[in-house]
Amino acid sequence: LGIAGRDDQDDIVQGIVLMRRGQQSLPTIHRVEAEVERINSMDMLPPGVRIERIYDRSDLIKITTNTVLHNLVFGIVLVFFVQWIFLGDLRSAFIVAATIPFALFFAIGIMVLRGESANLLSVGAIDFGLIVDATVIMVENIYRDLAEAGARSEQNGDGPEAHGLAGKLATIFRSATEVNRSIFFSAAIIIIGFVPLFTLSGVEGHIFGPMAKTYAYALAGGLLATFTVSPALSAFLLPERVSETETFIVRSLRRLYDPVLEFALQNRVVTLSATAAVVVLSIAAGRLLGLEFLPHLEEGNLWIRATMPPAISLNEGNSYVNRIRKIVSDVPEIETVVSQQGRPDDGTDATGYFNAEFFAPLRPEKEWRAGFDKDRLTRELSAKLTEEFPGIEFNFSQYIQDNVQEAVSGVKGENSIKLFGSDLATLTKTANEIKAVLQGVPGITDLAVFNSMGQPTIRIDVDRIAAGRYGLAPGDINAAVQTAIGGQSAGDVYEDGSDRHFPIIVRLAERYRQSVESIDRLTIGVPNPATNSVTQIPLKEVAKVSLVSGASFIYREQQQRYLPIKFS
């Protein structure tokens, strides 16, 4: 059914360990590694056989974890400096930045309690600006009220001891209650914006649902920190009297903003017209933007698919696969190459011998040739393979990315067009016409048609008139051909000591059914009632045997036949 190979080994046994849904990745990987080590160390395998790891998620999980930590630290630092630059107070900037780790840890705690897992989309995509929005409002209002209270005390000639800690706490309490309703409704508006994500189902729901939940948890944590932690930190860190001063940046922005605001108020028609024009232009420009189903995630590997002629045999195709694997493994940036031709023995990935897939993990980028990135590496390898193997179509992707794309569309390609119809010849002709049109579209690569035709097929057309002369019905001829080529049960073999039995199939030897000429000479028995005997005639006397191009692969969706065109 298929052949797997690795580097200079042309035939290996490859297995995949699947994790149960809802389990944690890293603990599962560690348990699998321990079990593999136990099997290898206890001589449970035949001599010379050893289980080796080719790929697991641990490296990608480490990259994801580092990305999340980087986003967390960078977000805190960025919020801290922005608040410091615009408010001009170091302590209030620290109070605002403290909301981020509190909200993130709150979200992670809820996820742990609910048994949910964290990933790059759910945790790494959190916008810290939205999380601290409520805290910024709260802290700025507290800071302003403390400054105004201090200014009133100076005007009244009160000393610093006139209000003290009790006065500061009362001012903070009053400031917090002034903006609590505004903060709550602003957070509610943000959460409402994520409601559509909660309604997604299928693949989209599995991908974007966790992100929406994590956002909701983080916003809830941010609100909790705003109403509890921020006032407490303000009472602890802010002095009883503060002075509200404009920083250099704020003064510079105000010098630009004041005349613009004055012009807008004095020229309302011009302002509103210009705003409407900007909105219209933005909508028009937005339609020209490219769209992606998922953000690009660098997995650190290449997944190369080679599509050979549909009628190729397993052995003939394997000779090309071994050569392709050798060329790919010679690239210095590639650590190892594993090839898969055909389909696995369990039939979970139905495909033909024409399909070969190559998994190539990449070395760390610091070990790459100078000036090389992944795009340049892909272009170089694609050009080399296309030049060496004309007639074979190559597609470049990544391991997880390719599996997600195939799960979404059912087609082994990044993008696909599905052409539905009942006649395979018409579908093939129309698909090639669509391919010719797409070839002229800038930016399209890896363009190919998944051909359904091309399988050499022996076709037998019964000549009903000739068969009638011999007194044969089409069913008689079909039965004779079926017996000669397909075989017929001639009895059973019973297993000793068991009731299990197996049919004995009898058919002609391969040399008598290997070509059109040999099938032409198949004999058909014609009864002769006059002599009560059977006369043997060749099949070509009552049927036409020809070699035609038939269906090699049939694609179906919703009980309809279709032909896919894939491209990147």
- In CATH terms, the superfamily for domain 2-23+299-409 is Multidrug efflux transporter AcrB pore domain (3.30.70.1430)
Tokens matching residue 408 = 């979404």
pLDDT at 323: 92
- 473, 456 Cβ separation under 8 angstroms: no
Question: What is the crossing angle of helices 202-224 and 133-156, to 10°?
Answer: 20
- What pLDDT does residue 154 have? 62
Report CA 185 to chain centroid distance, whole Å.
Answer: 36
List pLDDT tens digits, range 135-169: 888 888 888 888 777 667 666 655 554 456 777 78
Boundaries of every domain in the chain: 2-23+299-409, 61-286, 455-551
The sign one gets for the Cα dihedral 532, 536, 541, 543 is positive
Q: Which H/E stretch holds residue 360?
A: strand 355-361
Residues 6+ apart with CB under 8 A from 123: 68, 104, 107, 108, 214
Write down the pLDDT at residue 203: 65
Structure tokens at 71: 């986003």
Angle (CA) 512-517-518 rounded to 5° is: 10
SS3 of 210, please?
helix
Average pLDDT of 344-355? 77
* Distance, first Cα to last Cα, the chain: 29
Of the candidates 136, 171, 133, 173, which has an alpha carbon nearest to the alpha carbon of residue 152? 171
pLDDT at residue number 162: 47
Which of the residue ranges 11-20, 44-53, 417-426, 549-558 would you say has the lowest mean pLDDT? 549-558
Mean of pLDDT over the chain:
82
How far is the C-alpha of 298 from the C-alpha of 347, rounded, in Å?
A: 30
Beta strands (DSSP E) in 308-410 are: 338-342, 355-361, 393-397
Q: HSE of 281 in the Cβ direction (CA atoms, 13 Å)?
A: 6
CATH of domain 61-286: 1.20.1640.10
Pairing between strand 560-567 and 555-557? Answer: antiparallel
Q: What is the mean pLDDT of residues 216-237?
A: 86
Sign (positive or negative) of CA dihedral 255, 261, 263, 266:
negative
Which uninterrupted H or E stretch holds 91? helix 90-97
Q: What is the CA radius of gyration of the chain?
A: 36
**Alpha carbon distance 71, 504 (integer Å):** 68
Q: Over the stretch 474-486, which tens digit does the pLDDT of each residue have?
A: 888 888 888 888 8
**Among candidate residues 95, 68, 64, the one with its CA nearest the CA of residue 79:** 95
The domain 455-551: what is its CATH number? Answer: 3.30.2090.10
Question: What is the model's pTM?
Answer: 0.66
Measure CA 537 to chain center: 60
413: helix, coil or strand? Answer: coil
What is the structure's pLDDT at 322?
Answer: 92
- 272 pLDDT band, cuts 50/70/90, is very high
558: left (phi over 0), alpha (psi -120 to 50) or beta: left
- Average pLDDT, integer, range 112-136: 73
Whether residue 18 is predicted with pLDDT greater than 80 in this model: the reply is yes
- What's the CA gap between 63 and 400, in Å, rounded? 15
pLDDT digits (tens, 9 = 90+) for 174-215: 888 888 888 888 888 887 877 777 777 766 677 777 777 888
